[in-house]
Amino acid sequence: LLLLHSMRAHTLTHSELTRMTSKKKVESLERSKCCLSSSVETLHRSMRRKN
């Protein structure tokens, strides 16, 4: 479910990215994407530790 949601969110941001013209917006979007992926990684790691 989480994976499906993140995939859906990725497609949304990608379509937004193609529509965007402002460089600043693109940069902030990429930054937030990086933050999201790293937090997901941390979540997976903590889940592995519990199991």
For residue range 1-51, what is the model confidence (pLDDT) as tens digits? Answer: 566 666 666 565 666 667 756 677 778 878 888 778 888 888 888 888 876
User: Is pTM beyond 0.85 here?
Assistant: no
Give the DSSP letter of residue 22.
-
Q: What residue numbers bound the domain in which 42 lies?
A: 2-50
Q: Give the number of domains in the chain.
A: 1
Looking at residue 4, its pLDDT comes to: 65
Q: What's the pLDDT at 23? A: 72
CA geometry: angle at 16 spanning 8 and 28, to 5°?
100
